[in-house]
Structure 1
Amino acid sequence: MKHYITKRLLLLIPIILGLTFLTFALLYITPGDPAKKKLSAQGIAVTNEVLEKTRQEMGLNQPFMKQYLDWFGKFLKGDLGNSFKDGTSVADKLSKGMRYTFILSFSAFFLAITISIPLGIYTAVKQNRFVDYFIRFLCFIGNAVPNFLLAVLFIYFFCIYIKVFPVVAKGNMQGLFLPALSLALPLVSRFIRQIRAAVLEQLNAEYITGARARGNRETYILFRDVLHNALISIISIFGFSIGTLLGGSVVIESIFMWPGVGKLMMDSINARDYPVIQGFVIISAMIYVVVNLLIDLCYQLIDPRGEE
């Protein structure tokens, strides 16, 4: 296990290098001039002389590799740079919003697994019965409806029509429920179908037939054998949803005005505030990579035979 962990940690080094370089390169070639955006936002007349001076102050007149190496050197020290828009620290800007984004993402994830695990198992046990068809039909609809449309419908029904929740989320528990539900429902639909498939694969295996022939109870077979062997597939499903949650939360936060990084990212994209965008993308990618590493470690704990 120690050898496996060391090997995976060493593999993170080229992954992080590739992520930082690719992110920086994509933003570098993106159309638009951050210096011009900054001057326009401040109401300053954009002349060639002023524009050139501003680009020099922002470091935009340097060659690509020089800009990247300067940024990467600061990144290794924990410095994500300063915002092009107002000159404040990117780390400070992101830290204020990331806490709320983590709360929203964790709440949506917890809600999704709380609903999907029992329903996924139940539909597998009740295969080809009415309840199975009905839940699968709801899952089909849930997969087809994007979360931003759900958010708009929830705002109209719960906030405007029956006025149970506030239109603008204020960072409290009451404002958290609808954004979390909007993120969770599409995941629930996906999780139920995949959990059902994983459980059915185990239920149709030969060792289950043998366990039934030995007189074991169905509940014992389900919770002792089936769930344990289906656990790897279920954990994989949950791990791959991290990227969906982090990406989807940006749109949902903007709709509900949840005080996470969603609005910050939308404003940064419009203002061509590259340091803030880079910081968010890198942090999100690192979270995704680390979560997948933890999932692989869980694989080894559940089934040590897979250890390399």
Structure 2
Amino acid sequence: MLVISFIAFVVITAMPSDPVDIAVRAWNLSATEETVAALRQQWGLDQPFLFRYLDWLSRFVQGDWGQSFQSGLPVLNQFLERLPVSFMLGFCGLGLAVIFAIPLGFFAALKPGGAIDRFSRFLSVFVQTIPAFWSGLMLLWILGAKLHWIRPFAQDLNAILMVILLIALHSTAVLARVYRKALSDFTTEPYFKTALSKGLSMRQVFWRHGNKAALFSLFAAVHSEAGWVIGGTATMEILFNFPGISQLLVQSIEARDQMILQAYVMVVALWMVTISIVVKVTQHLLDPRIT
């Protein structure tokens, strides 16, 4: 987190823009020398780079995330208003993907080459080929404009469920194939044949003996999918006009709002670290040999 914070601060600070000029235009202030000097002193922009970074870092860990150059509002307050929306979409989408992937991958491995196996393969190729925003646009057009089943940009329960399903769709296909591959590899193990010789059915052997190993591989893949979920959540927030942090990010990039951008990088880094810890703990529970 410390390394990420420093690299992000270097890159964001090096952007070709002056936060004071942005604030003057956004707040309709008079661009006098006194005003510019006062703002630069207030935000510490007149200090050396390393001092600015250490000052920002010390304030950040204490909960002072700075002031938006665009709106003048505290950055932390803006994030606290929008984070619940983004985390709800991201966590629910990723959790739903895991729930869907297990039965889909299980039955695909149970009958290789069968209808479910072919469907999971097609779904995996489809979501890897079709961008998430295109799928969202098509659903908005079909369900909203043509069938009138939903109200576009209404931000009601139907829209929330559709966004979560769209986010889960991509990860479900990928995780199901990972789970299916792990179960298929399990059939080459000696204890698989031993379990069959005891009179257990293929389904019982898979579930009782192969499930733990498959779940281990599944949760290992969850970590990489968590990164995609961030991008998928951002796409859906913008497409469906949800007031999450990704929508705020797009507005802040356009305005070169450095404080918002820096906080966003740290929140995303914290998301990835948290997912990594959860995955490691889950893997340890499945296999105590993992430390």
TM over 0.5: yes
Which runs of no fewer than 5 residues in structure 2 stay unpaired?
none
Q: Give the whole-Å Cα distance in 1 for the aligned partners of 2:282 and 2:127.
A: 29
Deviation at 1:138, TM superposition (A): 2.7
TM-score by length of 1: 0.88
Aligned to 1:96: 81
Q: Letter of the aligned partner of 1:144 in structure 2?
A: T
Residues 214-293 of structure 1 correspond to what in structure 2 (within 5 A)?
Answer: 214-293=198-277
SS in 1 for 2:69: coil
Residues 128-167 of structure 1 correspond to what in structure 2 (within 5 A)?
Answer: 128-167=113-152
Which runs of no fewer than 5 residues in structure 1 stay unpaired?
1-15
Residues 1-308 of structure 1 correspond to what in structure 2 (within 5 A)?
Answer: 16-44=1-29, 46=31, 50-170=35-155, 172-307=156-291
Q: Give the whole-Å Cα distance in 2 for the aligned partners of 1:266 and 1:74.
A: 24
Residues 208-258 of structure 1: per-residue CA shift (max 9 Å, x gap): 112112222323211110101222111112232222212321221011001
Q: Among the aligned pairs, what percent are the same residue? A: 28
Deviation at 1:69, TM superposition (A): 0.6
Deviation at 1:110, TM superposition (A): 3.0
Q: Letter of the aligned partner of 2:112 in structure 1?
A: Q
Q: Letter of the aligned partner of 2:78 in structure 1?
A: K
Residues 155-208 of structure 1: per-residue CA shift (max 9 Å, x gap): 1111111111121142x4222022212212111221122111111111232211
Are the counterparts in 2 of residues 117 and 195 from structure 1 also a CA contact under 8 Å? yes
Are the counterparts in 2 of residues 85 and 273 from structure 1 also a CA contact under 8 Å? yes
TM-score by length of 2: 0.93
Q: Give the whole-Å Cα distance in 2 for the aligned partners of 1:206 and 1:229.
A: 14
Residues 242-296 of structure 1: per-residue CA shift (max 9 Å, x gap): 2221232122101100122122111111111111111121122112112211211
Are the counterparts in 2 of residues 145 and 186 from structure 1 also a CA contact under 8 Å? no
